[in-house]
Amino acid sequence: MAVLPETVSADTADAADVATTASTPVPGVPIVRITALRKSYGTNEVLKGIDLDVMRGEVIALIGKSGSGKSTLLRCINGLEQFQDGSLRVADKPLLHDSAMAMRALRQQVGMIFQGFNLFPHLSVGRNVMLAPTLVKKRSDQDAAEQARTLLARVGLAEKFDAMPDQLSGGQQQRVAIARALAMEPQVLLCDEITSALDPELVGEVLRVVESLAEEGMTLLMVTHEMSFARKVADRVIFMHQGRVHEIGPPAEIFGAPRTPELRQFLKSLDE
């Protein structure tokens, strides 16, 4: 299991420091621990008690019909959504919605890639990747630029450092988004349907990058419709149904031997 390098900030107590002290790995403790999580939008309960432990280096695929709560669960983990009941611990620290500092520390541990890429259109590709490290981790421009170049090379876009996002294809933009998230050196990456908005021929380039991240030992939680990818790369697959974890297990089991009728129905609908 690869352990990602930690940054040491020269400033006194700020979000970067808080994150550093929290990221010392403790063997055996799950990196994400979700207990009895409940979330409602008004009167509509979308998460009805989720229990989940994610170990460091695991790749988890979340599948299910739309409305089953998969994206909501993911967004709870980095605090974009607030939950009403239960507990959520990341790197053994509880999620504190009220503390802006705690949330910033959390988000240095947990990165997110969005379906819509959400690159910053007014900044070049390189600056997109550099922005957060310079502001949050207080890296110098030079160091951040160097890191950005390395990461862009890693996702196969070294030559696009000075390009603007609107000059890139969807697949390229998404790969930049991955580099941007990696620049913060997170311990967990959340991927929210990151290929759903891409033309089919561009999906592969993005999935290849994700696969290489998995091979290096990054902890990944992916909401995805790419079943063949999930089968190949995931350690565990979670099938969500109506706000609950309906079935959970290794891909061979989930795809090969579905136990419940709902999962069977779902898998059948994918073939149609």
Partner 1 sequence: MIEFTLWDILRNLALALRWTVALSLIAFIGGGLVGGTLLCLRIGLGRKTQRLIGAYVALFQGTPLLMQLFLAYFGLALLGIEVSAWTAASLALTLYTSAYLVEIWRGCVEAVPRGQWEAARSLAMSFGEQLRHVILPQAARLAIAPTVGFLVQVIKGTALASVIGFVELTKAGGMIANASFKPFLVFGCVALFYFALCFPVSLAAQHLERKQHGRAA
Q: Which residues are near partner 1 by CB under 8 A? A: 15, 19, 78-80, 100, 104-108, 111-112, 114, 116, 118-122, 131-132, 135-136, 177, 180-181, 184
**Rg, Å, the chain Cα set:** 18
Which residue, 112 or 234, is less far from partner 1 as judged by CB? 112
Closest distance of CB 85 from partner 1, Å: 23
b/e burial code for range 82-100 (CB count within 10 A of at least 16 → b): ebeebebbbbebebeeeee
**Cβ atoms of residues 246 and 265 within 8 Å:** no
Q: Which two tokens stand for residue 135?
A: 């502001």
Reported as type and span, the H/E element at residue 16 is helix 15-22
How far apart CA 220 and CA 206 sit, in angstroms, is 14
CB of 261 to partner 1, least distance (A): 36
Give me the least distance between CB of 16 and partner 1, in Å please: 9
Kindly state the smallest distance separating residue 171's Cβ from partner 1, in Å: 18
Length of the chain: 272
Element (H, E) at 87: strand 85-90
Kindly tell me which of 188 and 227 has the beta carbon lying closer to partner 1. Answer: 188
DSSP string, 204-255: HHHHHHHHHHHHTT-EEEEE-S-HHHHHHH-SEEEEEETTEEEEEE-HHHHH
Nearer Cβ to partner 1 (177/254)? 177
Q: How far is the CB of 63 from partner 1 (least distance, A)?
A: 22
Nearer to partner 1, 63 or 177 (CB): 177
Q: Minimum distance from CB of 257 to partner 1 (Å)?
A: 36
d(C-alpha 156, C-alpha 201), whole Å:
16
State whether residue 15 is helix, strand or coil: helix
Nearer to partner 1, 46 or 245 (CB): 46
Q: Which CB sits closer to partner 1, 218 or 254?
A: 218
